[in-house]
Amino acid sequence: MTTPLQPFTLAPVLVERPWGGDRLARYGKVLGGKDLVGESWELADLPQQVAPTVEDPQTRISSGPHTGASLCELISLRGEDLLGPAQPTSDGRFPLLIKLLDARENLSVQVHPPAAYIEHHPEARLKTESWYIVEAEPGSSLFLDLEQGVTLAEVADRIETGDIVPLLRRVHAVAGDFWHLPAGLVHALGAGTMVAEIQTPSDTTFRMYDWSVEYDRQVRELHREAALSSIRLDLPEHHVPKGRGLAGYRVLTNNSHYRVVEHKTDGDGIVVGTSPGPSVLLAVSGTIVLGDLTLDTGATAVVPHESGEVVFHANAEATVLEVTLSVSSVRRPTSRIES
């Protein structure tokens, strides 16, 4: 008889970036003396060719009988128990990528291709992502979309130079805010912020400006024509402001790829696993416990579909993000990751 699949934790994959810092150490990450760690991949199940600069782009299970296994290995063994009605990618992998990002400096100004671009460029892949602001230094910003009235002709004239920055809509970064970023939206994460990034594991990124002069960075390739063909000027804003701090839960997004719920507790239990399929939990603050499983600030766990509804308990205030998969989404391939 097969033992029921129980909730388990994941060991993160740490990735150095030129814009990274050392704040992830405060979230339980062992930086090993590195001072430019920009990303903690909390949940990743990518083939090596998708992320060739990362030694092992797969988070490993760190608790329970499957300790050391990757998620795709667990899917091959217990796929239905783990995923339920949700679908893996076309190559049998977990269809989410979740990160903590520490932006010591501005990230590149970039855009991801919408469906209209992909129709004519099959090598590209649609990317949906969302940001939950975990920390924001005073005066820090997000760059989200173009200023009202800016035309593509103006962008074309200024792309690849610092002159493009005044065309960007700058938004004050607030810890606890949530932003959903659809494909086609010009964006850049601003210096002094830390975010939880939830996304599909397909990532085609077109860089428009990389702050090379401002930060004396190594010059990287920009993608002028592809970016101009991908920008959409008619996208609605999806912003959920910081809550009032009361216990309970809020649905932050429920799109065709995933659903994100913010749980807050002042010491009571947090009920998760109420939706079909697996739940991924990221502890933004505080500590929650389920039996022998403890999730401290910055830690990530997976509640398999087979586990059903479970209750994590907290002895004090805690904030947890719960990410579930859309069970109606089609199988999606992965593609090369660029940041």
The position carrying tokens 């086609």 is 184
- The one catalytic residue among 78, 207, 259, 332: 207
Closest residue by Cα to residue 70 from 82, 58, 78:
58
Residues whose CB falls within 8 Å of the CB of residue 339, separated by 6 or more in sequence, listed in order:
15, 17, 38, 39, 107, 108, 205
Phi-psi region of 277 (alpha: psi -120 to 50; beta: other; left: phi over 0): left
- How far is residue 2's CA from residue 67's CA, in Å, rounded to a whole number? 17
Tally of CB atoms within 10 A around 292: 8
Residue type, 229: S
Q: Please, are residues 155 and 149 in contact by the beta-carbon 8 Å criterion?
A: no
Residue type, 112: H
Q: Please say if 207 is a catalytic residue.
A: yes
The SS3 of residue 230 is: helix
| Alpha-carbon 187 to chain mean position | 14
Residues with a catalytic annotation lie at: 207
